[in-house]
Amino acid sequence: MRLSIALTNLKPGTGKTTTAVLLAYALHRRGHDVALVDADPAGSALAWSDAVDGFPFHIYGLAVKDAGRRLEGTAGPKTIVVVDLPQAEDHGAIVRSILRRVDEITIPVAPSTIEIERTSAITDLLDEVAEVRERPARVAVLLNRVVGGARSGPDARAALTDLGYEVLRPQIPRREVYALAYGMVPDIRPGDPADLLAEAYLTRAGIA
């Protein structure tokens, strides 16, 4: 595969599925061969695809303990794979299996004190995974559900940076269109937050 990106967090409800689907759409809109892997036993991304009569890219259900080993089978040499992971606290084996293999590990975090404090637990998991990886992954935090004009976003970015995390420059705003996105066909346009996020990943991977 050309690039693999996994969205992970310890807890559910952090925006992993919505972000994964929007990112996959943004990459597809840019002309890339995309595969979305739903590794969550809840199957939310698969259900979303069914609700819109199929995504315009491949989607695979891979909620199995050896998901990482099977990841290569979902992609060709030019495919960008986006993985929607389940919450690590309940499905650690699946999460560890995927995190051992992907190029990019992204932690969606809302700009709140409790969400920032929870990152320490996922960091412990990432440290554990790093010990068995063949090469280091690019790890970063994605600020999600950011209220425009509020201090919480910049404050969270500063706090996470002080804690040693890399924070992606693009962020996902708290908008009704994202809250209600599930089950709808995403309309990703140039300059949208998801498009800027796709651009950031491509730049990090050195893909034109």
pLDDT tens digits along 146-190: 998 899 999 999 999 999 999 999 999 988 777 788 889 999 999
| pLDDT band with cut points at 50, 70 and 90 for residue 18 | very high
Contact between 84 and 36 under an 8 Å Cβ cutoff? The reply is yes
H or E segment and range at residue 32: none
At residue 183, the pLDDT reads 87
Between β-strands 138-146 and 33-38, what pairing exists: parallel, antiparallel or unpaired? unpaired
Contact between 183 and 157 under an 8 Å Cβ cutoff? The reply is no
Domains (ranges, CATH) in the chain?
3-183 (3.40.50.300)
Query: CA-based angle 160:175:44, to the nearest 5?
Result: 85
Q: Which residue has the tokens 């995309």?
A: 34
At residue 13, the pLDDT reads 80
* Torsion angle of the four alpha carbons 177, 183, 186, 187, in this order, in degrees rounded to the nearest 10: -70
**More confident of the two residues 117 and 6:** 6
At residue 181, the pLDDT reads 86
d(CA 10, CA 90): 8
| pLDDT band with cut points at 50, 70 and 90 for residue 65 | very high
d(CA 83, CA 64): 13
At residue 24, the pLDDT reads 98
Question: Nearest CA to 108 among 15, 37, 11?
Answer: 15
At residue 138, the pLDDT reads 97
At residue 11, the pLDDT reads 86
Contact between 146 and 175 under an 8 Å Cβ cutoff? The reply is no
In the sheet that holds 172-173, the strands lie side by side as 58-61, 33-38, 79-84, 3-7, 104-109, 138-146, 172-173
d(CA 19, CA 195): 11
Residue type at position 62: L
At residue 180, the pLDDT reads 80
From the CB of residue 25, how many other CB atoms can be counted at a distance below 10 Å?
24
d(CA 144, CA 170): 10
pLDDT tens digits along 90-149: 999 999 999 999 999 999 999 999 999 888 888 899 999 999 999 999 999 999 999 988
Check pLDDT > 90 for residue 193: yes
At residue 21, the pLDDT reads 97
